[in-house]
């Protein structure tokens, strides 16, 4: 993070803008929205600024800039087309320890203005640290379409009831859970649809009858996808943001973990072949204990929790003890990784079915259902098969697949570290060894692998 995002209260405080043209107008408009007392230093004003002056919304100092104009200012913005003036403003402001912004001159600034989504009192600021202001504005546009204009009313409702909720619920966790339920439930929908009186009445009744929220723990079994955070579902992201504690494994990417609520407790229970930070039974008991303590527990898994993610084993324990839970499917490695590798799992000319299998069983062997894996016109996707890749290839050939059958191994698919090795079954293990491939890897076997040469579209080296 190159800059600290902060929000400064400017109500009634003197802010100086040097310049009287169109660029200055944009900055003045922003300051007036923040209810600042704006003084403009400029020999002349454009028509729009002159109109604002006539309405007594700002003060005009009709002069060339002088350092004394900054006395008493809390921030200053230079918005002239004269480089010497802009430099002088920057030097004078820095000498007085006044935050200064010089439009389109990052080197002269001590602060920058952001692209803003205004849902007052909710305000969202997006900055690219001057790397790409256009991109920041494009992101703002996307956010604008996602957040209703009435979100400000929802925040105002919460502010009106804040003290009463604080009196009603004694702990921070109880209050947070209460507000999360309200702000994501029917009351919030009433506000967003313009039924604010009904929402206030419903909130009044809820506070009268709601008992203190104790032992309302819950487990969220969430699929974190194959690595790229953009592949998360909306529901997964929402639950990741409201969890008290996150339990995650080795296959969850750093980029996905960064989206978990910042103050959530993070517990790593990663698994690798023959190496377990916590045995599965202990993970099951950990989920159970934390939920019974009243916590909202995020069980975050790579891919999909029900495809080689042991999600079924975990919810069995929760169901036996009556602990509420949610399961959020994720894009499994088979679909995500194959797509980013340019290998469709089915194709009318090559494969009419697809089978997923694990590269090793619970006892650590690779004694798979080989006859089922060598059927014609199908694609075989092998999870966790890197360690046994040589034996897997030998067995597939021994049970009927051609040594020339195309195959691929994809390492850290969908991420910036994606690597792909393509070969035939006879040489795949050797080439994987030469490439020094490391977990997590996915193996794809079938005629569809031929299509990668034509369909490969994701090249992390070119995207960096």
Residues with catalytic roles: 249, 271
Peptide bond before residue 121 is cis, with ω within 30 degrees of 0: yes
Residues listed for the chain = 464
CB 300 within 8 A of CB 227: no
Burial environment of residue 181 by CB neighbours within 10 A (0 to 12, 13 to 18, 19 or more) = middle
Q: How far apart are CA 34 and CA 11, in angstroms?
A: 6
CB 40 within 8 A of CB 14: no
User: Which stretches of 66-184 are DSSP H helices?
Assistant: 83-95, 133-146, 151-168, 172-183
363, 382, 360: which is closest to 428 by C-alpha? 382
CB 49 within 8 A of CB 110: no
| CB neighbour burial string for 401-429, b if at least 16 within 10 angstroms, e if fewer | beeebbbbbbbbbbbeebbbbbbbbeebb
Here the tokens at position 125 are 């600021």
Here the tokens at position 364 are 């650590």
Strand partners, 444: 381, 408
How many CB atoms neighbour CB 369 within 10 A? 10
Q: How far apart are CA 137 and CA 140, in angstroms?
A: 5
Q: How far apart are CA 307 and CA 397, in angstroms?
A: 26
Beta carbons within 8 Å of 408's beta carbon, 6+ residues apart: 341, 343, 420, 421, 422, 423, 443, 444, 449, 452
Peptide bond before residue 440 is cis, with ω within 30 degrees of 0: yes
CB 70 within 8 A of CB 88: no
Q: How far apart are CA 39 and CA 76, in angstroms?
A: 10
CB 203 within 8 A of CB 187: yes
When computed from its CA atoms, the radius of gyration of the chain, rounded to whole angstroms, is 29
Q: Is residue 458 helix, strand or coil?
A: coil
Burial environment of residue 15 by CB neighbours within 10 A (0 to 12, 13 to 18, 19 or more) = buried
Here the tokens at position 333 are 């490695």
């Amino acid at each position: 993070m190159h800059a600290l995002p902060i929000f400064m209260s400017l109500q009634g405080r003197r802010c100086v803008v040097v310049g009287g043209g169109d660029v200055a107008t944009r900055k003045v408009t922003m300051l007036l929205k923040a209810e600042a007392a704006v003084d403009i230093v400029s020999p002349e004003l454009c028509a729009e600024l002159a109109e604002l002056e006539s309405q007594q919304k700002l003060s005009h100092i009709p002069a060339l800039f002088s350092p004394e104009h900054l006395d008493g200012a809390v921030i200053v913005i230079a918005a002239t087309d004269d480089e010497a003036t802009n430099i002088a403003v920057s030097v004078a402001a820095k000498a007085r320890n006044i935050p200064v912004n010089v439009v389109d001159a990052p080197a002269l600034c001590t602060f920058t203005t952001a692209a803003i989504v205004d849902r007052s009192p909710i305000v969202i600021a997006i900055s690219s640290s001057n790397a790409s202001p256009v991109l920041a504005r494009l992101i703002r546009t996307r956010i604008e379409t996602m957040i209703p204009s009435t979100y400000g009313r929802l925040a105002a409702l919460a502010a009106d009831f804040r003290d009463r909720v604080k009196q009603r619920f004694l702990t921070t966790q109880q209050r947070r859970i209460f507000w999360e339920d309200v702000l994501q439930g029917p009351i919030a929908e009433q506000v967003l649809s313009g039924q604010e009186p009904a929402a206030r009445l419903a909130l009044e009744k809820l506070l009268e009858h709601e008992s203190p929220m104790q032992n309302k723990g819950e487990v969220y079994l969430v699929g974190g996808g194959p690595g790229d955070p953009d592949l998360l579902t909306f529901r997964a992201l929402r639950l990741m943001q409201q969890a008290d504690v996150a339990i995650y494994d080795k296959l969850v990417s750093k980029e996905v973990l960064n989206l978990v609520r910042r103050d959530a407790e993070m517990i790593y229970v990663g698994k690798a072949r023959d190496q377990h930070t916590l045995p599965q039974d202990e993970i099951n008991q950990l989920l159970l204990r934390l939920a019974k303590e009243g916590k909202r527990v995020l069980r975050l898994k790579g891919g999909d929790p029900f495809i080689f993610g042991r999600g079924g084993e975990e919810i069995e324990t929760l169901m036996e003890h009556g602990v509420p839970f949610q399961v959020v499917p994720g894009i499994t490695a088979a679909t995500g990784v194959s797509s980013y590798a340019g290998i469709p799992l089915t194709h009318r000319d090559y494969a009419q079915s697809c089978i997923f299998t694990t590269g090793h069983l619970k006892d650590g062997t690779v004694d798979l259902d080989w006859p089922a894996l060598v059927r014609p016109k199908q694609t075989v996707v092998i999870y966790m098969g890197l360690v046994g890749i040589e034996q897997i290839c030998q067995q597939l050939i021994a049970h009927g697949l051609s040594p020339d059958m195309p195959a691929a191994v994809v390492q850290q698919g969908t991420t910036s570290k994606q690597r792909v090795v393509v070969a035939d079954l006879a040489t795949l293990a050797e080439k994987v060894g030469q490439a020094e491939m490391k977990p997590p890897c996915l193996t794809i076997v079938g005629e569809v692998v031929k299509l990668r040469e034509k369909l490969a579209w994701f090249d992390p080296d070119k995207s960096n």
